[in-house]
Amino acid sequence: MDLAPPAMLEQRLTESVKDWRSPLAGHVGFRNWTLGPARRRAYCPLCFEEDLAAGRTPYFRMDWIPALVTSCWDHEAPLREWADCDSAGRRRLPKAWLYRTGDMRLATPAFMRADLEAIRQLCDAPPSKDCPSLEVVLSWLRWVQFVAEKRFDAPMPPYLSGRTVEDDLRSDLRFLIELASRHQDRHQEPPLADVACPRQWPEWFGPLPGSARRREWKFSDSGIRQTACLRWRRSYLFFAVRTLVGTKSYGSLIAETSSKFPAWTVWWEELLGRLGPQQRETLEWHQKVSMKSFV
């Protein structure tokens, strides 16, 4: 389905076809990349905890499917990765949950308890003096999620003939994600997001996963859709949003305190010294050509 039909086309169809109604009016779904079925391991431990408290078998929400969604829409907590999966990537739930035998809360897996504790420690953590802090970075990712994606059952926003700042941001965000996640065949050099990811928080951000290396894909939509690792998804999103925060066009939209962070050009110059020759050449080329519209 064309999610951005020309306004003139819609107007002419309305004039020519009796009772014509745009299919976008009732469209539900997502706006960007969605994960492949075997890669959908993201979950919110707080949602699962609420399901158990209500006597429901915990279930994986449709709203956790998009690649750009890394936080729970309801709790705004970072999503975690369900650890109990078979070799084909299929998620496995405790039998006590499926058959509802006894107190289902007693069958909560140890890794889910650890995930709950990690989220609570994150929420209870005192403000950091780091610039930016983990709390700030996660808030950037939440903001981009709200702007670039939508909840599954929410209608598509009305199409406007003129482009808005949000339209430009979504387009630039996709471009930066593609740039951040691209890498050479056989993983000869790590992708930009791998080098740029904040390694001081290994529980939340991480490098390109080994499964992607074995597939030997360069950038493609399929490459992003088939990467289940949440830590890697946060890494390429971090590269994109950190670049946008350093621009005058988007910085104040994403973070009120964006002016205290170095401009994207300064940040990219810092990255160049950590890149291999091919990736350095790629970044320099985009800095001179593709990023001319960034201010």
Q: What is the pLDDT along the chain (295 residues), one digit of tens a residue?
A: 465 667 778 778 888 888 877 766 666 778 888 888 888 999 999 999 999 999 999 999 999 999 999 999 999 999 999 999 988 888 999 999 999 888 899 999 999 999 999 999 886 655 555 467 888 899 999 998 998 899 988 877 766 666 778 888 888 999 999 888 887 655 567 888 988 999 899 999 998 887 765 555 556 677 788 788 999 999 999 999 999 998 888 888 887 765 678 889 899 999 988 888 888 888 888 888 888 777 6
Q: What's the pLDDT score for residue 220? A: 65
Report pTM. Answer: 0.85
Q: For the chain, give every domain's residue range.
A: 37-145, 154-293
| Burial class of residue 143 in the structure, from the number of CB atoms within 10 Å of its CB (0-12 exposed, 13-18 middle, 19+ buried) | middle
Q: What's the pLDDT score for residue 161? A: 64
Tell me the C-alpha distance between 3 and 123, whole Å: 37
Q: Coil, strand or helix: which one is 9? A: helix
DSSP at 132:
S
Give the DSSP H or E segment for 80: strand 80-81
Give the burial string for 199-220 (b: 16+ CB within 10 Å, else e): eebeebbbbbeeebeeeebeee
HSE at residue 46, side-chain half, CA atoms within 13 A, is 13
Write the CB contacts of 218 (distance below 8 Å, at least 6 apart in sequence).
182, 183, 184, 185
For residues 197 and 207, the answer to whether their CB atoms sit within 8 Å is: yes
Q: What's the pLDDT score for residue 34? A: 87
For residues 129 and 136, the answer to whether their CB atoms sit within 8 Å is: no
Q: What's the pLDDT score for residue 113? A: 97
Q: What's the pLDDT score for residue 126? A: 58
Residue type, 100: R
Q: What's the pLDDT score for residue 44? A: 97
Q: What's the pLDDT score for residue 3? A: 59
Q: Coil, strand or helix: which one is 7? A: helix
